[in-house]
Amino acid sequence: MALAIITDCDTGGVRNVGNKAIRYKPNHYESWYTKGNALLNLQQYPEAIASYDKAIEYKTDYQQAIEARTKAQIQISPQLLNS
């Protein structure tokens, strides 16, 4: 439910909602992962990768975040090659 609410927001809304959860409990890996997913859906790949990195920092074996970060990195790679 929370992810659906976050992904329906504009970019500013995503940051605000995600940041509120993270401000409340900054080491909560799932909040960072959820924020990463919302940013990924908005094609904000560098920001998504940074959020996934934080999730992985707090839970190093968080496979879902590792896979999602890889997905975001794959999306950003063609952009780097074309620049």
Query: Are 57 and 23 within 8 A, CB to CB?
Result: no
What pLDDT, on the 0 to 100 scale, is given for residue 27? 92
Task: Quote the pLDDT of residue 21.
Answer: 78
pLDDT for the residue 4: 42
Global confidence as pTM:
0.75
Spell out, as residue ranges, where the chain has pLDDT lower than 50: 1-8
Write down the pLDDT at residue 9.
Answer: 52
- In 1-78, beta strands by DSSP E: none
- Is 25 in a helix, a strand, or coil? coil
CB atoms within 10 A of CB 52: 29
Question: For 11-82, CATH number?
Answer: 1.25.40.10
The confidence score (pLDDT) of residue 20 equals 82
Q: Output the pLDDT for position 24.
A: 87
Distance CA(72)–CA(48), nearest Å, equals 7
